[in-house]
A and B are shown apart, each in its own frame.
Chain A
Amino acid sequence: PLSSRCCGPSSSTPAMNCRAEVLEVSVEGRQVEEAMLAVLHTVLLHRSTGKFHYKKEGTYSIGTVGTQDVDCDFIDFAYVRVSSEELDRALRKAVGEFKDALRSSGSDGMGQISLEFYQKKKSRWPFSDECIPWELWTIKVNVVNLANEQERQICREKVGEKLCEKIINIVEVMNRHEYLPKMPTQSEVDNVFDTSLKDVQPYLYKISYQITDSLGTSVTTTMRRLIKDTLAL
């Protein structure tokens, strides 16, 4: 398990070489969780490897990543996620909090959830470790209210189609083969990967969210951060 909390000030402003992708979805309240999970899991599917096992002479082998299909209940949609209950739980917890915050904010139901991949750079005392983000995914959510069952049925289908487009977008980004952290040595592995899970190894990530208040200003509203290693505490 990671021992140190992540570093300094929040990386709400991406570093210079951090690529940022933004996706937008409009969903009904009860679809928020599934839509967010679909996107987050699809990203993490591409950003997780098998567990590394280091051997002598600096070589390592990689474990196997299993996958499974997930059917959505409120959206005509299905997606693939990594077979890791720990990872699924962590994402569900984050998305659940986001959904609750959206609901209780009383705003127009607008917010965004961010998934940031970062690397840790150790600094000498007295400076704390730096977190350098290298990829940031932001999902902007607009919650709509529907009047009747017919509209809901149409929404099921439409949101399903939209999510298909989002998956295609995500895959396009992944396919660009842009910067990925260098494969680390054994001593560096915790600076690049989250090694706390027992079956898979995602890149170090953190999830945060913002609720937009009714004035549309996102700066003043609550900003919460869910840090992977604090979830384990």
Chain B
Amino acid sequence: AMDTDLSSQDRKDLDKFIKFFALKTVQVIVQARLGEKICTRSSSSPTGSDWFNLAIKDIPEVTHEAKKALAGQLPAVGRSMCVEISLKTSEGDSMELEIWCLEMNEKCDKEIKVSYTVYNRLSLLLKSLLAITRVTPAYRLSRKQGHEYVILYRIYFGEVQLSGLGEGFQTVRVGTVGTPVGTITLSCAYRINLAFMSTRQFERTPPIMGIIIDHFVDRPYPSSSPMHPCNYRAGEDNGAVYPSVEDSQEVCTTSFSTSPPSQCVFTVTKAHFQTPPPVVTDTLKVPVMGLAFSHQLSSSRLSYQPAALGVGSADMGYPVLFAGGLNAAHPHQLIGPGKEGGVPPVPSQPAHGTQADQERMCTPLDGVHYSAATPSSSEDTETVSNSSEGKCGSPHDLLETIFVRKVGAFVNKPINQVTMANLDIPFAMFAPKNVELEDNDPMVNPPASPETESPLQGSLHSEGSSGSSTGNTHDDFVMIDFKPAFSKDDILPMDLGTFYREFQNPPQLSSLSIDIGAQSMAEDLDSLPEKLAVHEKNVKEFDAFVETLQ
């Protein structure tokens, strides 16, 4: 008769498998709620520390919490291990989203081979867990966390409590594995009443710096076991030192035999070798967000080499944003019709040479753009002068292109009327200071345009910005015969009339329609001559400053 009782070796192995299965289950669940994509590498040679032949990293504090909750026990009938996932908003409201339950029932499978079948089925169950953790509603919420809310986890052991999930919660079964001592069941109960918490509400908004992180350092939770943010880096802040994994981790060296299955050689040894501390950073891809302080939020997440990861990403954050903004701005400025009219008059100066002119060109042009777009123009000027010093290749290229064209475009105008010709500003004739040009030129000063404070407002702005009604502009506009800026053989192969009608009402630049209205833009533009004069005076200071940056 076959001995149906479990041998002591098998029993030991089984207990070990269940323990590490529980720990890996917790790791998979918490890592799936970190808010980032997880990536681990396959390795054809077994490393000896990859339980269940799966590359699942061990985050030390998560292991610590799990072991604390288990307190040396194993899931058994009536004693389940639960991982509770909840959401907490920056205002302090919290809501349970999911309870993952690892349970044991009494249904035993005495025939099953522990060190072979049970082990492989536990491995399969972990794969199922990987798959299922991505399909419950909390996954998508957790991918968008960090700004208005964070996702927390809590591990407890004992009776499953599902009452916090609201009414009508749903259950999904991840899987079961029969063992000689009972059947392991893994399932998830999740809230479906997320109506007021649709993911649309959590589109990216500027992060709330500091609040979310501080929140969890100071206030212990009243519940029996503390909640932990899935993306909270606890290590430095509260001084807790978690036993590193290699001290207590038991290594599983799996060796299977094929002939016959009952002769399984399975060794589980306790090894005290030095494994490198779990590096989660190579799996956590910190998203490069445009705003620098959001980087600090990300790098304070569960990352074990914050210096390497966070700083690097943060460094990318600033220049990418501003440089991108600058380079993107120029095409709008220089090519689009009408906006160039906003070039403030640069006081005529003897030509210093093309290079100097070009450099100076960047500044006023950029100044035009930025003072309208952002409130802090001084900061922008600095940034601008940084980039104008040869770091931005494209504005120069664009300027050069227009210089070439300009000669042809304004050839009809007597040179002496263009006071800034030597500085090669395109459409210099439209600058406000030169009154006679404006008066004569209907492109700048169309008749019957109400609410026009600055000449450039009335001509080519679209509806809403300057208040000029587009209908009036069109009707009263009288075309006179003169050599226009856009002649036929140039960039746009169409006649002036068509061109005018087509580009008469370009859409408002989005940067100009935020809080500051067209009125203030006109004011800014009008005040630019004074500002420029001041900058001109301080040009030596700026140059010196730029030197320090190089």
| Contact surface of A with B, Cβ cutoff 8 Å | 42, 45-46, 49-51, 53, 55, 57-69, 71, 76, 78-80, 82-84, 163-164, 167-168, 170-172, 174-175, 177, 182-186, 198-200
Q: Which of A78, A168, A174 contacts B172 (CB 8 A)?
A: A168
Q: Which residue of A lies closest to B50 (CB)?
A: A64
Contact A63 B258 (CB under 8 A): no
Residues of A within 8 A of B181 (CB): none
B102 to chain A, nearest CB (A): 15
Residues of B within 8 A of A184 (CB): 258
B84 to chain A, nearest CB (A): 21
Q: Which of A60, A71, A167, A175 contacts B256 (CB 8 A)?
A: A60
Q: With A57-B257, A175-B173 in contact, is A79–B46 under 8 Å at CB?
A: no
Q: With A50-B53, A58-B259 in contact, is A83–B42 under 8 Å at CB?
A: yes
Contact A199 B132 (CB under 8 A): no
A179 to chain B, nearest CB (A): 13
Once bound together, how far apart are the Cα atoms of A145 and B378, in whole Å?
A: 52
Contact B44 A51 (CB under 8 A): yes
A64 to chain B, nearest CB (A): 4
Q: With A46-B127, A53-B46, A199-B44 in contact, is A64–B258 under 8 Å at CB?
A: no
Once bound together, how far apart are the Cα atoms of A183 and B261, in whole Å?
A: 9
Q: With A46-B127, A171-B175 in contact, is A60–B135 under 8 Å at CB?
A: no
Chain A's interface: helix, strand, loop or mixed, by majority? mixed
Residues of A within 8 A of B176 (CB): 175
Contact B254 A68 (CB under 8 A): no
Q: Would you give 16 A-B contacts (Cβ < 8 Å), ordered by A? A: A51-B44, A61-B46, A63-B42, A65-B55, A66-B54, A67-B130, A68-B40, A69-B37, A163-B135, A164-B135, A171-B132, A175-B124, A183-B256, A185-B258, A199-B42, A200-B42
Once bound together, how far apart are the Cα atoms of A61 and B45, in whole Å?
A: 8
A93 to chain B, nearest CB (A): 20
Q: Which residue of A lies closest to B41 (CB)?
A: A66
Contact B130 A45 (CB under 8 A): yes
B39 within 8 A of A: yes
Q: Which residue of A lies closest to B139 (CB)?
A: A78
B43 within 8 A of A: yes
A71 to chain B, nearest CB (A): 7
Q: Which residue of A lies closest to B37 (CB)?
A: A69
Contact A66 B43 (CB under 8 A): yes
Q: Which residue of A lies closest to B40 (CB)?
A: A66
Contact A66 B42 (CB under 8 A): yes
Once bound together, how far apart are the Cα atoms of A221 and B38, in whole Å?
A: 41
Residues of A within 8 A of B45 (CB): 51, 53, 63
Q: Which of A58, A66, A163, A183 contacts B55 (CB 8 A)?
A: A66
B73 within 8 A of A: no
Contact with A along B110-131 (1 / 0, CB 8 A): 0000000000010011011011
Contact B254 A61 (CB under 8 A): yes
Q: Which residue of B lies closest to A83 (CB)?
A: B42
B184 to chain A, nearest CB (A): 11
Q: With A57-B257, A83-B42, A172-B173 in contact, is A64–B131 under 8 Å at CB?
A: no
Once bound together, how far apart are the Cα atoms of A93 and B363, in whole Å?
A: 52
Residues of B within 8 A of A198 (CB): 44
Q: Which of B128, B140, B259 contacts A46 (CB 8 A)?
A: B128
The 4 closest A-B CB pairs, nearest first, are A175-B175, A164-B135, A68-B39, A69-B37
Q: Which of B38, B121, B125, B132 contacts A68 (CB 8 A)?
A: B38
Q: Which residue of A lies closest to B46 (CB)?
A: A61
Q: Which residue of B lies closest to A165 (CB)?
A: B135
Once bound together, how far apart are the Cα atoms of A33 and B10, in whole Å?
A: 46
Once bound together, how far apart are the Cα atoms of A168 and B45, in whole Å?
A: 31
Q: Which residue of B lies closest to A87 (CB)?
A: B42
Contact A174 B128 (CB under 8 A): yes
Once bound together, how far apart are the Cα atoms of A79 and B38, in whole Å?
A: 11
A180 to chain B, nearest CB (A): 9
Residues of B within 8 A of A62 (CB): 46, 53, 254, 256
B116 to chain A, nearest CB (A): 8
Residues of B within 8 A of A164 (CB): 135-136
Residues of A within 8 A of B131 (CB): 42, 45-46, 79-80, 167, 170-171
Q: Which residue of A lies closest to B143 (CB)?
A: A78
Residues of B within 8 A of A50 (CB): 42-44, 46, 53
B533 to chain A, nearest CB (A): 50
Contact A84 B42 (CB under 8 A): yes
Q: Which of A49, A55, A59, A170 contacts B53 (CB 8 A)?
A: A49
B214 to chain A, nearest CB (A): 30
Residue among A45, A64, A82 facing the most chain B CB atoms (10 A cut-off): A64
Residues of B within 8 A of A53 (CB): 44-46
Q: Which of A61, A68, A82, A172 contacts B37 (CB 8 A)?
A: A68
Q: Which residue of B lies closest to A177 (CB)?
A: B121
Residues of B within 8 A of A82 (CB): 42
B134 within 8 A of A: yes
Residues of B within 8 A of A177 (CB): 121, 124
Q: In the complex, given contacts A62-B46, A185-B258, what are 6 additional A-B residue pairs having Cβ atoms less than 8 angstroms apart?
A: A59-B258, A61-B256, A83-B39, A83-B42, A175-B128, A183-B261
B29 within 8 A of A: no
A107 to chain B, nearest CB (A): 31
B121 to chain A, nearest CB (A): 6
Once bound together, how far apart are the Cα atoms of A45 and B129, in whole Å?
A: 11
Once bound together, how far apart are the Cα atoms of A84 and B257, in whole Å?
A: 26
Once bound together, how far apart are the Cα atoms of A186 and B143, in whole Å?
A: 44
Q: Which of A65, A167, A171 contacts B54 (CB 8 A)?
A: A65
Contact B42 A64 (CB under 8 A): yes
Residue among B41, B143, B265 facing the most chain A CB atoms (10 A cut-off): B41
Q: With A45-B130, A50-B42 in contact, is A59–B140 under 8 Å at CB?
A: no
Q: Which residue of B lies closest to A63 (CB)?
A: B44
Once bound together, how far apart are the Cα atoms of A183 and B132, in whole Å?
A: 27
B174 within 8 A of A: yes
Which positions 238-261 of chain B face chain A at CB distance < 8 Å?
A: 253-259, 261
Residues of B within 8 A of A199 (CB): 42-44
Residues of B within 8 A of A84 (CB): 42
Once bound together, how far apart are the Cα atoms of A135 and B335, in whole Å?
A: 62
